[in-house]
Structure 1
Amino acid sequence: MKITRVILLLFVFSFIQACSSTNKTVSYEWNQSKDPLEGLNRSIYSFNTTADRLVLRPIAKGYDAVLPKPAKTGVSNFFSNLGEPISAVNNLLQGKVDRALGNTYRFVVNSTIGVLGLFDVAKHQGVNKTPEDLGQTLAVWGVKPGPYLMLPFLGPTNLRDGIGRSVSSAVYYPINEISDNGGTRLGLTALDLVDSRAKLLGIDSALEKQLDPYIFIKTTVENGRTDSINDGKVIEEEFDF
């Protein structure tokens, strides 16, 4: 067993007693990032937009047009299944033991009966996805988002979620667990990226209609993250008239 996995397990059991299941929700305002680096972020956004228009979007369109829907579903299921261990750990860190058990069950069943995760057998058994990541866990623990960041190629995030992603990837990067071959890892990473981009093709037309696409993306991403942190719970915002 890798030493990082041992450290991760110790980390989990050290915090599990301190983490209890909570109905706490965070507000959209609380999870909104300040943007002190807006000038730099907008420059990176322009770079990402150009790279997407010239390279990634055409490839994603070809992928979406050529592959039949069952094949695309299988690819998405495969990569989603690789993230179940991460979700299990983060659900556990948040005190959501039942959800962590669900993640574990999904990973075992879909990796075996579901042929390496290509088929979501667990979903048909009533065990649905409950994805969690370290950024969400830190938010549940009360860590605010910090400044908004637009990363080259990786897109929008914030300091909290960016650190969470980096730490999580250093401990367990799913694709690296499949093969030690660099070419295989690169190919799977590229396939995951193209598949993820293909899922967003439907919002391209809406984005092009925005007066300020940068602000639209920031707001959409932050609101989506708030909903994810709250596990889809409805937030009753208080307004001061």
Structure 2
Amino acid sequence: MSAAPTDLSTIDNGNPRHIAIIMDGNGRWAQKRFMPRVFGHQQGVKAVRNIVEYCAEQHIEVLSLFAFSSENWRRPETEVSMLMELFMATLQREVDKLDKNNIRLKIIGDKTAFSEKLQQKIIHSEQQTADNTGLTLVIAANYGGHWDITQAVQKIADKLQTGELNQPFITEDLIEQHLSTAGLPEPDLFIRTGGEQRISNFLLWQLAYTEFYFTPILWPDFDKQALKEAIISFKGRQRRFGHIGEQILTQS
């Protein structure tokens, strides 16, 4: 999988194949209503359901959601504990629905930091949905882009040391094959809700040629119409991948 396609005829001018979202604003949504932050996170789960449903309806291939970053451990201990409980409860409640709707679940991130019970639930959930052929739902949990690139390079180094890999030099394709998103198309559209305009260590390698869309809407209020508007914005852009506009027009 090369970072930038050279055959312009393969560029799809329709819906994005892969949408990546930072779901920001749960806590602020709750605080604006004089509610505890946990209430915002619970409402955020409802927003996830709606967005997953819409992406499945629109035949989006991959939806990646940033649920918990490697930096989020710095939050108050009570909030982190609650997020872990919510993650477990959501998996227990939603995996059968995902499976019934032909949605494949993939969890990326350093899962070793989670409890043994949560790790086993993640494994079971991924296995249960592994053969589904519809939308692939990627949940980034205890994930960081720096971690992803580091673990990819470490895997390559280990394989070189054991002789499993005997490549004379390291290529971009080789690194991509060892990222946590290996085998998935790179994101076409990146969305961040909540008004912030940064990528916060999310999919650093994978976002190289992604179109960015920032919205002030807090995540619990981000609904199907809001996603539709983001996709419309994406469709109105000319993706050049290093070429000039005339090249795109002559090969489209």
Task: Please report the TM-score for the alignment, with normalisation by the length of structure 1.
Answer: 0.26
Task: Compare the two structures and name the one with the higher strand fraction.
Answer: 2
